[in-house]
Structure 1
């Protein structure tokens, strides 16, 4: 529900399908979710680079980066987290309409919030990527010492410590970065995209 009145949705003269045809690939939102330190941003950026190297249009919406601008007025309460994901979902939808492959890297701890983003997109435009890295591994990687601060009570509402993380029930892709190297995680995502006809990837022989 919008607060604005007397507004009308204006349709472009160029359709999403026409943009996809121009780009030679489908548009889709790859929604990376998992604990802080699980590897979401690392994988998302590596996948973006791999797609770019094959001349496939993509863009990463990173959790921290978005809080510097669009979501700079939001904190980490349950309500602010919900609004954070709602806004990113709307941005991701615009990117999908532009024919771009969008990779989002957000903890997005609440299942209902992620489901709302999925429902706001076309049936085949949302791919949930659960970066299912164990908490103890995420803590070991934490160069910012956020987990340590949370355990000492210096940070309140930290996901995985004193705030919940609701794991996806049926993610399209599940990755455990404690069990495979980055290159294998990237290949797993690219293979899914190719197998489900989102993109056509060049083979080693074609490069």
Structure 2
């Protein structure tokens, strides 16, 4: 791991998030990532906000060489352990980096942002523009995000939930011939709250392919 560039507030928040319990997530890749990338030929991938690394490990297991970025060293430590246990440690480069302050260099065949939401500072539009710039010719940008919080969670005014239109505008795809929209979909699913209540949650999926430029 390298690139310790971060804002103390951002790192402190996410370190607390990951350290207050044991493993936070299931260890399974995000289903919409699996759905949208299973048919892609393996290449280089950038996983933004990788958390405990399930997506990166899954991609590496399918032959991808992955650069996986998160601000929390605790999350990255768990991710590296997951990769080692899965036999793909040599296929993932774990980087501690705060996307509010910096962005990984290079270009990639796949750039993925899965639920990149935060109650602390997150310049979403700037991150999405940088993500789009990191997509190699003929590469894919995959952006999956919640449409909002579930009904039993109080809305935090600091959290932003970009619409598909917001994402397209941010990456410059609305009026540019350099991008082709492959998937634009809102997926609804039933979720259960901690008190047993159920409700519907909507996730937006945008899959874009770079067809020109550079």
**Is the radius of gyration larger for structure 1 or structure 2?**
1
Whose helix proportion is higher, 1 or 2?
1
| Higher RCO (CA 8 Å, separation ≥ 6 residues) | 1
Q: Same fold (TM over 0.5)?
A: no
TM-score between both structures, scaled by the size of structure 2:
0.36
TM-score between both structures, scaled by the size of structure 1:
0.36
Whose strand proportion is higher, 1 or 2?
2
